[in-house]
Structure 1
Amino acid sequence: MLEFRQVHKAYATPQGPLAVLTAVDLELRPGESLALMGESGSGKSTLLHLAAGLDLPDSGEVIVAGRSVAALDEPDRARLRRETLGLVFQQFHLVPSLNVSDNLRLQARLAKRETPKWSAHLIERLGLAGLERRYPEQLSGGQQQRLAIGRALASRPALLLADEPTGNLDETTAAEVLELLLDLVREAGSALLMVTHSPQVAAPLDRCLRLTHGRLEPPSGQEASHR
């Protein structure tokens, strides 16, 4: 579903190129969940942006659902994101002028894969039944994040990319949202790549890798034993 082949990425700085990713190899199978851990500045978000086709590698290859991202022009990359990917970020990015129901269905409508039965199921599972006509500003932080997750999964994407999806929530709400996210990912049949700094968040996923100074490695003994 997702493959990185010897991917390198650097950014220009006044002091010269700053290497962010170095010779990254990664493979994520359909339906599999993978946690990507690392400290701030380790390159986690850059890797996620490359997987989403929001940025391109300097060298190497990123392959999503059998397609090389760099070989696609921008309209085709946008189509790939719309039809194949779901994106969940720490910031909710809900549309303030749309109510709960319309926010949830937005991605599925853009992908032309809206299924009313699945949308209704998501509303129920997300604990948003009865709130369909409310607007994002009328929801709690946990409700907004659940809505953002539902929007990303409404089209049943082949691959869900999540960047610290519980980072803005308190510990109890974060645990509830994470459990719900993983349940719905399994129901949707999606693969999941989740960026996190937390061993507790990484623990329920199928696999965990750590990004250190731009290189992927297995998690430390403590993280591995936690899993």
Structure 2
Amino acid sequence: MLEFRQVHKAYATPQGPLEVLAGVDLSLAAGESLALMGESGSGKSTLLHLAAGLDLPDAGEVRLGGRAISGLAEAERARLRRESLGLVFQQFHLVPSLSVLDNLRLQARLAGREDPDWSTELVARLGLAGLERRYPEQLSGGQQQRLAIGRALAPRPALLLADEPTGNLDEATAGEVLALLLSLVAETGCALLMVTHSPRIAAPLDRRLRLSRGTLAPLAAAEASR
């Protein structure tokens, strides 16, 4: 579903180029979940942006569903995101002028795959039944994050990219949201790549990798069990 082949990425600084990714290889199969960990500034968000086609590698290749992203024009990458990707961020990025239900349906409408029955089921599964006509500002932080997850999953994407999706939530709410996310991901069969700094949040996922000094490595057993 997602593949990185010897991907390099660097950014210009006053001191010269700063290499963030130094020949990264990564593969993620359909239905598989992967936690990406690392210190702040290690390049986790950069890797996620490359996976989404929001940025392009300096060298190497990123492939989504067998297609090389680098060879696509921006309009084609945008279409690929609409049709194949779901995005969940630490900041919820809900549309304040849209109701809960319209926010939920937004991504599916853009992808041309709106399914009223699936939207109704998602509302119930997200614990938002009875709140469909409310606006984001009328929801708690946990409710807003569940809505953001539902919006990303409404079009049944092939790949879900999540950047610290529980980072703004308290521990109890974070656990509830994570359990819901993994349940819905398993039900839809999409692949999940999640950036997190928390070994506890990463633990339930199928695989855990650490990004450090531009390269990926499996998490040490002691770290993964914290």
Q: TM-score band (shorter)?
A: over 0.9
User: What SS does the corresponding residue of 2:12 show, helix, strand or coil?
Assistant: strand
> Can you give the 5+ residue segments of structure 1 that lack an aligned partner in the other structure?
none
Deviation at 1:224, TM superposition (A): 3.6
Q: Which whole-Å CA distance do the structure 2 matches of 1:181 and 1:162 have between them?
A: 10
Give the aligned partner of residue 150 of structure 1.
Answer: 150
Give the aligned partner of residue 80 of structure 1.
Answer: 80
User: What SS does the corresponding residue of 2:41 show, helix, strand or coil?
Assistant: coil
Q: How does 1:166-205 map to 2 (within 5 A)?
A: 166-205=166-205
User: What SS does the corresponding residue of 2:39 show, helix, strand or coil?
Assistant: coil
1:14 and 2:14 correspond: yes
Give the aligned partner of residue 57 of structure 2.
Answer: 57
Deviation at 1:196, TM superposition (A): 0.5
Aligned AA (1:149)? I
Q: How does 1:33-44 map to 2 (within 5 A)?
A: 33-44=33-44
Deviation at 1:102, TM superposition (A): 0.2
1:220 and 2:220 correspond: yes
Give the aligned partner of residue 108 of structure 2.
Answer: 108
User: What SS does the corresponding residue of 1:124 show, helix, strand or coil?
Assistant: helix
Give the aligned partner of residue 95 of structure 1.
Answer: 95
Give the aligned partner of residue 46 of structure 2.
Answer: 46
User: What SS does the corresponding residue of 1:210 show, helix, strand or coil?
Assistant: strand
Q: Which string of whole-angstrom CA distances, capped at 9 and with x for unpartnered residues, describes residues 58-79 of structure 1?
A: 0000000111010100000000
Give the aligned partner of residue 127 of structure 2.
Answer: 127
Aligned AA (1:127)? G
Q: Which whole-Å CA distance do the structure 1 matches of 2:215 and 2:75 have between them?
A: 30
State the identity %.
79
TM value normalised by structure 2? 0.99
Q: Which whole-Å CA distance do the structure 2 matches of 1:203 and 1:225 have between them?
A: 7
Aligned AA (1:153)? L
Deviation at 1:214, TM superposition (A): 1.3
Number of equivalent positions: 226
Deviation at 1:165, TM superposition (A): 0.1
User: What SS does the corresponding residue of 1:42 show, helix, strand or coil?
Assistant: coil
Aligned AA (2:11)? Y
Q: Which whole-Å CA distance do the structure 2 matches of 1:225 and 1:147 have between them?
A: 30
Q: Which string of whole-angstrom CA distances, capped at 9 and with x for unpartnered residues, describes residues 53-101 of structure 1?
A: 0000000000001110101000000000000000000000000000000
Aligned AA (1:139)? L
TM value normalised by structure 1? 0.98
Residues 86 and 157 of structure 2 are in contact (CA less than 8 Å); yes or no, is this contact kept in structure 1?
Answer: yes
Give the aligned partner of residue 210 of structure 1.
Answer: 210
Give the aligned partner of residue 5 of structure 1.
Answer: 5
Residues 90 and 165 of structure 2 are in contact (CA less than 8 Å); yes or no, is this contact kept in structure 1?
Answer: yes
Q: Which whole-Å CA distance do the structure 2 matches of 1:225 and 1:40 have between them?
A: 21
Give the aligned partner of residue 27 of structure 1.
Answer: 27
Aligned AA (2:154)? A
Deviation at 1:220, TM superposition (A): 1.7
* Runs ≥4 residues deviating over 6 A: none
Q: Which whole-Å CA distance do the structure 1 matches of 2:150 and 2:73 have between them?
A: 28
Deviation at 1:187, TM superposition (A): 1.1
User: What SS does the corresponding residue of 1:86 show, helix, strand or coil?
Assistant: strand
